[in-house]
Structure 1
Amino acid sequence: MLVIAFGLVGAFVYGSADFLGGLASKRLSPFAVTGIAAFSGLAVLLAVYPLVGGAWSAEAALWGSISGVSGAIGISLLYACLAIGPMSILSPLTAVVSAVVPLAVGLARGDGLQPVGYVALALALVAVVLVGFIPEKGAVRPSLRGVLMAVGSGATIGVFLIAIDIAPADSGLVPLVFNRAVNGVIMVTIVLMAVAIARRRSDAAARPPAASDGPARAGLRTALLLALACGVADAAANGLILTGLRLGELSVMSVLVALYPAGTIVLAAIVLKERIALVQVVGLVLAVAAAGMLSLA
């Protein structure tokens, strides 16, 4: 039951980090937000490390770095495919694939469940689709490019879970430290390259500060704070997920973590007053039912 709690809470906090990152991305580049969040999360992990500990080793560094690279690729592909749309199809597709990949690896490695556990996993996958479903009026069919990006995003996010699970059991937070560091370096490099390219292409002359620069700077400060908070939440979620993986099975945790859109949806409903669709409510109910069944398995 403790594993289920870590998985569900970790998924909710993970979704909360996405919510904060989404708000910040309205004012900053998503890559910049991800880079800032990576380094704020790294700061949190380094601050907590003396309390939690963990053995430093080449293996822990390797798998942590692999998880950082896969996470950076997964997030980049996620933003790209959602920009293409439709989100109502590509968002749940990404979540399902992110669960199926580590689920398959876990079962292939010998993760064992009682029959009710397999039923619960199937039910949870259905819940992932329903929770992540965003109804859109007149939604179009996804392009092959969008589908491939969504599948690639889900697969690489799944690799993140697999890499963290494979890291040595005594490594503690070390894999997550390397994950955040590598992820942050990749994202900051992308942002710097984009800025350099934009400057080369820009022929606009420098202009004096306009009257609207004050509000713009205030918006930038808000975005920076949101990005920093996103990193803190993401680090907390990764810590919960890592603990769940150490206590339980990869196959179970992968499906529970894929319910992360629930955290985003709930916060959007509370903070932004967005309406939760009936199909998403059904998905949340199914997720709770699946979690209860998994606790019996």
Structure 2
Amino acid sequence: MLTVVIGFTSALIYGSADFLGGLAARRMSAVLVTAIAALTGLVVLLVAMPFFGGTWSAGAVLLGAASGVSGAIAIGLLYACLAVGPMSILSPLTAVVTAIVPLTIGLIGGEQLGTIGYVALGLAVVAVVMVGFVPEKGAVRPTLKAVLMAVGSGTAIGTILVIIDAAPDDSGLIPLVFNRAVNAAIMFTIVGITVVMARRRNSGPAHATWRDGLYLAIACGVVDTIANVGLLIGVRLGDLSVMAVLTALYPTGTIILAAVVLRERIAPVQYAGLVLAVAAGAMLALN
């Protein structure tokens, strides 16, 4: 029961972080948003680490660093596709892919799903089709580029879950610290290489907008780190497959905020797809 509570709570927090990251990416480059969020998260983790303890080991460091590389790819693609929008469509698509990746790894590794689990996987695929189908004029419509970025992001996020789950149970927050350190190093390196281009995108009257984006990116980093800590605790208390599916429900937070703040409109069939995706996630969690 505790794992379920942690999973759903982390999902809502993840969704809020993604919303903030998507808004920030509309004011500055997605690469810079990812870098600032990662650095902010690293600071938060370094402050919190003494309270969580943890045993240092090569496995904790290397797996944490590997997840940081995957995270740089995942979050960069995620914030970029959310900046293009619509958030209410791309976020659920990313989530479904995120859940399927660890489940697939588990099945290949010998884990077994019950009948309800396989039915849920089928429903998840149908949900993806429904969510991406826009029959009504005026309804939000994702571009192919945005869809491909969402799928790529979901695959990378699912990989992070697998890597973090493999980290030693006694490592505390050490894997997350190296995740953020490597993530921030990669993204700031890219920012440095593309600084001229970044300045052109944020030149002139965009100064105030850039400053707003900075605040949003920092807030995103704090919120995302809280969700990551919840994920780490969850996979250590319960099964990876259950936590993966529960945290994949994070679009709930993004959709709620997108609907309230951005007034995004989606078609009825897409609402049905979202409901089906949530139902599939619940079935997988109960499997």
Q: Specify if TM > 0.5.
A: yes
CA contact (8 A) 1:92 1:133 kept: no
Partner of 1:274: 264
Partner of 1:95: 95
SS of equivalent to 1:169: coil
Partner of 2:24: 24
**TM-score normalised by the chain length of structure 2:** 0.81
SS of equivalent to 1:56: coil
Deviation per CA, 1:258-288, whole angstroms, max 9, x where unpaired? 2222211111122233345434543454455
C-alpha distance in structure 1 between counterparts of 2:42 and 2:238, whole Å: 25
Q: CA deviation at 1:151?
A: 4.2
1:107 is aligned to 2:107: yes
Q: Percent identity?
A: 62
Q: CA deviation at 1:178?
A: 0.6
Q: Which stretch of the first structure deviates more once superposed, 171-180 or 96-105?
A: 96-105
Instruction: Report the residue type matching 1:270 in the other structure.
Output: V
Instruction: Report the residue type matching 1:262 in the other structure.
Output: T
Structure 1, unmatched stretches of 5+, are none
Partner of 2:209: 219
1:239 is aligned to 2:229: yes
Deviation per CA, 1:38-77, whole angstroms, max 9, x where unpaired? 1111111112212222222111011111111011112334
Instruction: Report the residue type matching 2:144 in the other structure.
Output: P
Cα 1:283–1:4 shift into 2, 3 Å = farther
Q: Which stretch of the first structure deviates more once superposed, 27-36 or 86-95?
A: 86-95
Cα 1:257–1:121 shift into 2, 3 Å = farther
Structure 2, unmatched stretches of 5+, are none
1:142 is aligned to 2:132: no
C-alpha distance in structure 2 between counterparts of 1:14 and 1:187, whole Å: 20
Q: CA deviation at 1:197?
A: 6.4
Cα 1:130–1:57 shift into 2, 3 Å = farther
Partner of 1:265: 255
Deviation per CA, 1:158-209, whole angstroms, max 9, x where unpaired? 111111010011112111111111111111111111015678xx9xxxx9xx
SS of equivalent to 1:104: helix
1:57 is aligned to 2:48: no
Q: Which stretch of the first structure deviates more once superposed, 218-227 or 111-120?
A: 111-120
**TM-score normalised by the chain length of structure 1:** 0.79
Q: CA deviation at 1:244?
A: 1.5
Q: Looking at CA atoms only, which structure, 1 or 2, has the larger radius of gyration?
A: 1
Cα 1:243–1:182 shift into 2, 3 Å = same
C-alpha distance in structure 1 between counterparts of 2:259 and 2:116, whole Å: 33
Q: CA deviation at 1:243?
A: 1.5
CA contact (8 A) 1:96 1:129 kept: no
RMSD: 3.5
Q: CA deviation at 1:224?
A: 1.4
Partner of 1:15: 15
